[in-house]
Amino acid sequence: MGIHSLLSLSVVLLSCVSPSETGPTPRVSFSLGSPGRLVTRFSSPDVSNTTTLLLSHDGDLLYVGARDAVLALDVSNEDAITLRSKLDWSPSEKDLEQCSMKGKKMSDCPNFIRVLQFLNSSHVYACGTFAFSPRCTYINSETLTMSLKPDEGRGRCPYDPYQRNTAIIVDGELYTGTVADYRGNRPVISRHLSEGRRVDLKLDDTLGWLEDPTFISSSFVPDEEKIYFFFSEVGREYDFIDKFIVSRVSQICMSDVGGQRTLQRRWTTFAKAQLLCQADNELPYNVIQDIDTLAPAEGAPADDTLFYGIFTSQWSVNSGRSAVCSFRLSDIKSVFSGNYKVLNRDTLQWSTRVQEKVANPGECGLHNASDNALRFVKENFLADDSVRPVGRTLTMVSAEHTYSHLSVQRVQAVNQRDYTVLFLLTESGYLHKAVLLQAGAHIVEEVQVFVQPQPVKSLKLSTAQGVIYVGTSEGVVRVPTANCSAYWTCPQCVLARDPFCGWDPNSRACVRVSNSKSSLVQDVDRGNVEEACSSVSLTHRARFSPNKLSAGELVSVSLNEVVRLQCPPSSRLSRQQWERPNSRLSSELYLHLEDGSLSFVATPTTLGHYLCLSTENGFQQTVAIYHVRQKSSNTAQSQPSSHPVTQAGARPGPRSKLSEGTSEESELGRTEPTQSSRDAQTPTPQQDRDPALWTQESGLRGTKLWEEGPLMSARGPSYLKELVVVSVLLLLCVSLLITVLLYTFRQRCRSRTAPQAGTPPRGRRTSMEQEALRGPCASKRNGKTPHSAQAGVLVSNGALTGSNGHLPNTPI
């Protein structure tokens, strides 16, 4: 069994294993238009597909390549983005008609600007698809007017607006990666706008240097004088049934001018290698989506340049998953200086064999080499080894989000250490800000930038202004990289673990980190609140004492009413817990809901105080305080037969702040859910910018609710004694009535059975007299009713007697 068969089998086996990693969860989430995370948006009815962005050197102007237009946006104002000038550049009616005759949709025939680069200090070079007939032109950056008539843009810009491309201008020369034909079958990496002794170059496509590539990005490394291209293509070195996609990095030297006889006007320094973004015992993330370059820190060598990329997998087992890998320039250089694979021209199979090196592929200065050396580099351009990620591990992986674009920035924190911050755009329309720590990636926040998924072609970061621009099909969105004012307390500022933000003890505010403020409180690595905020934070038990209970929300309810107390989570990483003073929340009386709220039926036992505690990273804080009491008689309202529900903290009701006594709804009661697709809810900063505000500040201002002790204040009025007294009195009355009736009946019986004067002796009565004296009762006992003529009754002294000397109906 060959190596390719083994690799195929391993892919099949690994595809049966479901991924176990879920990735980091965003700590807080801001929905679109949330007042706690303001974003600036530019849109216009006549402007669409603003997908190519170019930021000026001073950061005050943003050039936008849109459909049939090039815009110059003024972004110097923090509160708004305004249109300074606009250049209309659209195909003629004849061009559109020819595009339609070629079988293309009319919606794809406009001029989509796909190349926008600074040529020099006064001009911008722009290229567009122009009705499937690419055009390029020079634009004055000040007046936004064309300096020359547009010329042909084949090999510089794609024909199809949906095809990805990359372009970069270095020293006035344009380096591009795109397709050079109408059908998109001729991919090229070429150089244009060369002058003097230099000539335009492109790839030699006779040997298939590129196999159906998708160009992603390009980067210039000044110290190396090389251009690096990043793309994905079909890996012909793997013998699979299906096409196996691999991610590549390729290089060319800027000094390359082509060979004299062999490789004339062709690259002599082209080489490519595989980027392997793979963790142990997992399938590789083989399809690159986007990549950004992080320059080395000040004073570090150029070899420390890092390339951060987003990768996905082509297999269904990894559907919806994304991984971030970083690659070091020194590792890329090491792979290019190693061995190269050999292509068998007869079988078109790649193999690795030890061969004598006639030349080093990828080495600069080969334009003067011999024809034998140039033929060697022409056939040996695929490096044998793969470029492994830094640390041989994934920088970040997510099983929940699919990332499409990223930007990377290095930030210096209060402790003078550098931290890497990633800005990741999801396909669902959220921008994630993640800081890379030794323990793993930590997503500080997520910000919704658009509602419906839409094409995003550019993500531009301005480190000088501290903002990031997102180009979408509807307009341009500007998002500040820091949102320190959203954290109102020291614990929240520290728990955010945002290297941009630190707590200022003097102004008691979370502010942006700067070199002038070295006294800021911050703990990016651990987020330890107890140490960082030791001077201002309070312990949970101290806040729980009777005399230090902070102001809460008063909830007035009726007995037998269903009550629901809301508990706004301080973050999506926190855990909620309910407590009562000197009482236990039994499962028989209380129901803990999934959203963290508490539900119960209002009874004399359940009236009192309730505290919701939030625990995050070992720090516990009070986020909600409620005092549930029974409605007074003058304000009680009639209740329906079914149990009503009172939701404290969710809607207005007969409740007020205990500390003020006039407000009808507390701050903690104005929380709203933000995203039902996420499992946890996060309050918007305006409604509850920081629930921990109750823990430090209002806790010191709280009224003394428990002057008589926590237990006395926690209980409402009780009617148990009254119920017992009424029940006992009713029982006594019933017993007395029964006794009187029995006594009266007994007395009557005795009076009738007493012997009377004048009654003849029992032995002298005849049988007829005895039968008559028995009366009807005796006959009834025998089942017979005597006739009225036969039923005799004797009356003696006003008393009825039977023949036996007893009362009628009395047993003998």
- Model pLDDT for residues 82-109, shown as the tens digit of each residue: 999 999 999 999 999 999 998 899 999 9
Query: Does the pTM exceed 0.85?
Result: no
Concatenated DSSP letters for 750-804? HHHHS--TTPPPGGG--HHHHHHHHHHHHHHHTT----TTT---EEETTEEE-TT
Closest CA to 481 of 409, 582, 375: 409
Q: What is the pLDDT of residue 793?
A: 36
Are 561 and 662 found together in one domain? yes
3-state helix, strand, coil in the chain (%, to 5): 20, 30, 50
Find the mean pLDDT for residues 649-668: 39
Are 615 and 694 found together in one domain? yes
Cα separation, 54 vs 169, in Å, equals 12
CB burial of residue 641 (10 Å; 0-12, 13-18, 19+): exposed
User: What residues form DSSP beta bridges with 253?
Assistant: 226
Q: Tens of pLDDT along 1-35? A: 444 444 443 444 444 444 445 789 999 999 988 88
Largest CA distance in the chain: 166
Q: How many helices (H) and strands (E) does the chain have?
A: 13, 43
Q: Report phi then psi at 548, rounded to 5.
A: -120, 15
CATH number of the domain to which 576 belongs? 2.60.40.10
What is the residue range of 490's domain? 482-532
Q: Is the pLDDT reported for residue 176 higher than 80? A: yes
Find the mean pLDDT for residues 196-215: 86
In a domain, 267, yes or no: no
Are 743 and 621 found together in one domain? no
Residues 457, 466: contact at Cβ < 8 Å? no
Q: Tens of pLDDT along 304-343? A: 999 999 999 988 666 558 999 999 999 999 999 999 998 8
In a domain, 287, yes or no: no
Are 558 and 582 found together in one domain? yes
Cα separation, 473 vs 50, in Å, equals 6
Find the mean pLDDT for residues 646-659: 50
Q: How many domains does the chain have?
A: 3
Are 647 and 776 found together in one domain? no
Residues 590, 550: contact at Cβ < 8 Å? no
Are 731 and 751 found together in one domain? yes
**End-of-domain residue from the set 695, 716, 737:** 716
Most confidently modeled range among 352-361, 706-715, 730-739: 730-739
Residues 6 or more apart from 77 whose CB is under 8 A from it?
none
Share of the chain above pLDDT 70, in %: 76
Return the beta strands (E) in 619-724 as ranges. Answer: 619-630, 645-648
Question: Between 242 and 156, whose confidence is greater?
Answer: 156
Are 687 and 755 found together in one domain? no
Q: What is the pLDDT of residue 319?
A: 52
Q: Tens of pLDDT along 221-266? A: 999 999 999 999 999 888 776 788 999 999 999 999 999 889 999 9
In a domain, 729, yes or no: yes
Dihedral of CA 231/236/242/246: which sign? Answer: negative
Q: Rounded to whole angstroms, what are the CA distances from 198 to 120, 173, 190, 193, 194?
A: 19, 10, 13, 9, 6
In a domain, 82, yes or no: no
Find the mean pLDDT for residues 432-457: 90
Token duo for residue 419: 């931290």
Most confidently modeled range among 19-23, 98-102, 280-284, 685-689: 98-102
Residues 6 or more apart from 37 whose CB is under 8 A from it?
30, 445, 447, 483, 486, 685
Most confidently modeled range among 65-69, 315-319, 534-538, 550-554: 65-69
Residue whose pair of structure tokens reads 């095809």 in the numeric block: 163
Host H or E run for residue 271: strand 271-275
Find the mean pLDDT for residues 135-160: 94
Find the mean pLDDT for residues 522-543: 74
Q: What is the pLDDT of residue 334?
A: 96
Residues 324, 291: contact at Cβ < 8 Å? no
